[in-house]
Amino acid sequence: MKRFFAKGHRVRNKDKLIPYWLATIVALPFLLLVVGVGFGLFMSLPNQWLIFGIVIFVLVLISAIIVYRLYLMLLSKNKFFIHRHREFLLWRFLFQNGFYFTKDSKGKPTNGKPKIKFPKVYLKQEKYTLSASFQLEGIKFQERFLSIGGQLETMFSADMMGNVDDKAFVTYNYAIDSIRGRISAKDVTGTIVEGVKLSEGVYWDFVHDPHLLVAGGIGGGKTVFLRSLLVALLRLGRVEILDPKQADFVPLNELKVLKGRVTWETEEMGQRLIDLNHQMDERYQLMRKLSKERKEKELGAFYKYDIKPLFILIDELPSFVSALEDLPQNASVNYMEVMSALKQLTLKGRQAGFYLVIATQNVKADDLPSTIKDSMMLRVTLGRVSSFTYATLFGEENKDKKFKYVEKIGANRIFGRGYYGIFGGPAKEFFAPLLPDSKDFDFYTDFESLPRIEEEKSQLQAEIVEEKRYLQAEALEKLEITRSTLKKIEALLKDNQYSLEGNGYSEKELDLFRKILLEREETEHSLRDSVSDVVSTLM
């Protein structure tokens, strides 16, 4: 059946009756109850019309109140009622906006009582999405149908994810019930492959969409969101935090995992960015060295060399930038030097595994240099932010989207609701991780239990130290063999699936040659057998 109704329910004029027959479904049991009670009273109390009338009136009144409340509840809770109500809403939208043809019974235009016929319009509803398809094909409503996505978004209280134009129809796709995908802060996890899980089906894939820009109004849940991020980031790699407000993150500096990695004084924060920029250059040197040893044609990403990512979280960046501009001339750092380091980290950080998380209340034109802003691939808003912030973060692609601030859902106040989107793509409704009950989880205790991830200089020291490699002449002198014997051993090693590394010969490779020569001398086997015997002990 799904093949025949692939586009969903077609809107027709009879849909105007949907509220009436839905109400009838709810009222029917009560109507039967009233009729049954009335018949019973009539039979048991003959000629007692006053009592009969009072009882029936009270019963009808109570039933009407119950039916009304039950009807409203079903419209918000029951799947069948919700779907039928949306079909009615779409009919009402089309009717009130004049999206219909009027004809008489013979198919000709009429000035009398019109016979209404709607163009081909479909509504398809699924668990978390719905789509509305509108006929194009040159009909008189074509241009208007191409620009109604935002109106439908408001009408359905849904979140537009984009539209598809297949020439015959334009289809608007919407997300519904995004709050069902909300997760707890303690369930925020991260991997290099998938990224950081922010909600069910929502990930920050920092490898492919580097850098995160967060705009959150006062009381919108920004601090909880950033701390939820740390639950995953501190397990993935190193984290450096700059807190110019000297408030939300300063206490974390006492924890082992972040000791010395939380800064809040302006000059110290500036110097930290400069130092991190140098560390990024050193990491590139390490990666080039490892790539050369592997004889790779192209330099890979950081994770291919078993290097951990490094995340730089800057809370209230505009405050930091303003403080930089106010530094005296004799300060240890200056504005231009620090901003240059920040730009380099943004532009070059992806391959080396350096990622920025920049948070602010609202994004104004002069808050972020365009070089930095355009490199922030994932954008998130939380709570109440300005219309200019929406326009700046989500761009021209979302100009028709109806961004809205939701303070309550039902009787409950909502924190951490906003929008997220990849730069250049559609913005979607988003619910940030929920703060767990303090009896079950608190950020400080969680962070306190985490091991400290050290810099790769100490962690990968054995890989970084430059290993001496001997030229062929030096190797022949140390092994006391001829050049032809050396080349024969190399060829036999290759036949036994053992490859030598880089140019020249390492001390480890010379020891292997010595073992082969000693094996041949002690067993009097051929060189081929000796190579095979020694290599087999290494596998």
Domain boundaries, the chain: 9-175, 185-461, 467-538
- Count CB atoms within 10 A of the CB of residue 388: 12
**Binding site feature residues:** 216-223
Secondary structure of residue 196 in the 3-state scheme:
strand
The Cα–Cα gap between 155 and 164 comes to 20
Question: In Å, how far are 206, 245, 316, 454, 492 from 250, measured between CA atoms?
Answer: 25, 9, 14, 20, 61
**Binding site feature residues for ATP:** 216-223
Rg value, the chain, Cα: 35
The Cα–Cα gap between 347 and 359 comes to 18
Q: For each of the chain's 539 residues, which pLDDT tens digit applies?
A: 444 456 789 999 999 999 999 999 999 988 888 888 877 777 777 777 777 778 788 888 998 899 899 988 888 888 899 899 999 999 999 999 999 888 765 555 555 567 888 999 999 988 778 899 999 888 888 888 888 888 888 888 777 777 888 778 999 888 787 777 889 999 999 999 999 999 988 999 999 999 999 998 887 889 999 999 999 999 999 999 999 988 889 999 999 999 989 999 999 999 999 999 999 998 999 999 999 988 888 999 999 999 999 999 999 888 898 899 888 888 888 889 999 999 999 999 999 999 999 999 888 766 778 888 889 999 999 988 888 888 888 888 888 787 888 776 666 778 888 899 999 888 888 899 998 887 888 899 999 999 998 876 644 444 444 556 777 777 888 888 887 888 888 888 888 878 776 667 788 888 888 888 888 888 888 888 888 888 887 75
- Kindly list the strands in the beta sheet with 262-263, ordered across the sheet, starting from the edge strand earlier in the chain: 262-263, 238-242, 310-315, 354-360, 212-216, 378-382, 417-422, 428-431
State both tokens at 274.
Answer: 């400069």
State both tokens at 523.
Answer: 């067993």
**185-461 — its CATH code?**
3.40.50.300
Q: Give residues with Cβ within 8 angstroms of 246, minimum separation 6.
A: 264
Q: Give residues with Cβ within 8 angstroms of 323, minimum separation 6.
A: 244, 266
